[in-house]
Structure formats: structure tokens, C-alpha cells
């Protein structure tokens, strides 16, 4: 089966698994996941599994990327912050959904590789930087949407403070692989409303930046 045919099959599977947002489905149909994984895993890129990308990190399962992207309710005028660029796959999907994406990664090598992939795909509405995402990106705040792709102990106040009123943050919360939950927080005038979106399994959010 060609990579295109496999990607179409994956999108049909996502649809039957409850992803109904047509913008998310078409973004996932456009982004070639095989370009975001190491050569050895290329033939598994259209399977719904997390795959290693080096530095003990993984690119999330397509169904998780779809679920998070849908939960974020991204509009095409939105300014979005992503914490944990990793391979850049989720970033590429977000680039198709939003006006401008800011993405932060603590591993310089992963960030460089991700940036090269995004540039090669002609995605120009993204700005990426090496940094500790637990601090967000204060110079660019506020954001309409914030997505965190590594699990912290709790919702980070520093990040929530960078969400515009009316904006949304989606993040995995909890330590340990068994107890994590995916959480959606809607920022209101006087605080925030939190919703539990179900079980999750992400690599941990780690403070500080790795050396080169």
C-alpha cells in the first residue's frame, strides 16, 4: 500500500474512533508522518503507535495528536503555543489549523531536526525555539490556544497566565504512566474551568534545557 493510501486509511480509522472535526482530519491527511520519524520506523509511520525519535522521546500516536488537536478547538485566526516540539509532527498539524504557531523544545538537537522538517514542508507560520516550556513564551503572550505535549504534575500556572481570556489550554497532567489525565482548561474572566478528557500517557515534562 502506498504511503498516501495508508494515510487515508488512518484518517478513516480516526473518524470511526470519534474524531469529527473535518479541519483536524484534513490536516492529518496532509501531514506525512513518515517524514517525522527515523528511517528505521518509516514503514510504521501510518500505524496508530507512538514511535521513538531519539533522546528517549517519542512522536505521539496519531490518534492522540488528533484527539488533542480536536480538543484544542483551533481556529484559523488563532495564535497558538505548543510546549514539546519533539519531532515536529504535532506542530505541522497545528500549522495547518492556526494562524501562527510558537513551539518550544528543551532538546536542541530535536528542535533543529524538527525545524528542518517543517521548513522542508514549506510551513512558514511557525516560530520554534529551544527553551524550558514550563515558563511558556512570555514575550509572545497572550495565546488563544496552548497545547502541552509532555505531562506535568499539575496545570502550570505560568502557562495558564499566558492564555487569553476565552482561550483554551490542553495538557496531560499527572505523574506516572497510569494516572495521567488529559485536561482541557478554558480561561475565563475570573479564573478557569477545567474538564477531564480521559486517560493519557505522555513522557514527563522536564525543567531546564539539555546541552547540545
Q: How far is the CB of 117 from ligand SAH (least distance, A)?
A: 10
Closer of 85 and 166 to ligand SAH (Cβ):
85
**The only residue of 57, 69, 70, 180 in contact with ligand SAH, by rule CB under 6 A:** 57
CA dist list (Å): 48 to 67, 117, 147, 159, 173: 12, 21, 20, 29, 22
Q: Of 59, 128, 159, 185, which one interacts with ligand SAH (CB under 6 A)?
A: 59
Number of residues that bind ligand SAH (CB under 6 A): 24
Query: Rounded to an integer, what distance in angstroms lies between the CA atom of residue 22 and that of residue 20?
Result: 6
Catalytic residue among 46, 60, 69, 87: 60
Residue 180 touching ligand SAH (CB under 6 A):
no
- According to DSSP, residue 206 is labeled -
Which residue shows C-alpha cell 488537536?
69
Q: How far is the CB of 147 from ligand SAH (least distance, A)?
A: 8
Residue 62 binds ligand SAH (CB under 6 A):
no
Cell of 180: 495521567
Of the candidate residues 46, 69, 87, 180, the single one contacting ligand SAH (CB under 6 A): 87
> How many helices and strands (H and E) does the chain possess?
6, 9
Q: Give yes or no for residue 28 binding ligand SAH (CB under 6 A).
A: no
Q: Which stretch binds ligand SAH (CB under 6 A): 16-24, 25-33, 51-59, 183-191?
A: 51-59
Cell of 122: 514549506
Q: Return the residues of window 88-147 that contact ligand SAH according to CB under 6 A.
A: 89-90, 104-107, 110, 132-134
Please confirm, yes or no, whether 2 is among the known catalytic residues: no
- Of residues 139 through 178, those in contact with ligand SAH by CB under 6 A are 149-150
Measured distance CA(199)–CA(64) in Å, rounded? 11
Q: Which stretch binds ligand SAH (CB under 6 A): 14-22, 80-88, 121-129, 165-173?
A: 80-88
Q: Please, which contacts does 203-206 make with residues 24 or more away whose CB atoms are closer than 8 Å? A: 203/56, 203/57, 203/58, 203/150, 203/151, 204/150, 204/151, 204/152, 204/175, 205/83, 205/84, 205/133, 205/134, 205/148, 205/150, 205/151, 205/152, 206/106, 206/150
Residue matched to cell numbers 505531562:
151
Q: Which residues bind ligand SAH (CB under 6 A)?
A: 57-60, 83-84, 86-87, 89-90, 104-107, 110, 132-134, 149-150, 203, 205-207
Residues with catalytic roles = 60
Amino acid at each position: 500500500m502506498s504511503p498516501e493510501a495508508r494515510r487515508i486509511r488512518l484518517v478513516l480509522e480516526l473518524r470511526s474512533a470519534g474524531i469529527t472535526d473535518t479541519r483536524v482530519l484534513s490536516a492529518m491527511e496532509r501531514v506525512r508522518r513518515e517524514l517525522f520519524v527515523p528511517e528505521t520506523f518509516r514503514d510504521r509511520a501510518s500505524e496508530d503507535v507512538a514511535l521513538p525519535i531519539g533522546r528517549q522521546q517519542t512522536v505521539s500516536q496519531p490518534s492522540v495528536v488528533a484527539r488533542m488537536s480536536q480538543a484544542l478547538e483551533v481556529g484559523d485566526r488563532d495564535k497558538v503555543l505548543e510546549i514539546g516540539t519533539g519531532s515536529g509532527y504535532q506542530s505541522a498539524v497545528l500549522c495547518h489549523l492556526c494562524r501562527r504557531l510558537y513551539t518550544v523544545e528543551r532538546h536542541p538537537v530535536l528542535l533543529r531536526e524538527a525545524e528542518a522538517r517543517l521548513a522542508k514542508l514549506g510551513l512558514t507560520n511557525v516560530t520554534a525555539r529551544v527553551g524550558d516550556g514550563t515558563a511558556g513564551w512570555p514575550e509572545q503572550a497572550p495565546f488563544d490556544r496552548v497545547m502541552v505535549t509532555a505531562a506535568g504534575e499539575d496545570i502550570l500556572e505560568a502557562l495558564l497566565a499566558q492564555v487569553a481570556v476565552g482561550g483554551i489550554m490542553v495538557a496531560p497532567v499527572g505523574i506516572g504512566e497510569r494516572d495521567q489525565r488529559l485536561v482541557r482548561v478554558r480561561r475565563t474572566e475570573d479564573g478557569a474551568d477545567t474538564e477531564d478528557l480521559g486517560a493519557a500517557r505522555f513522557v514527563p515534562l522536564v525543567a531546564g534545557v539539555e546541552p547540545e
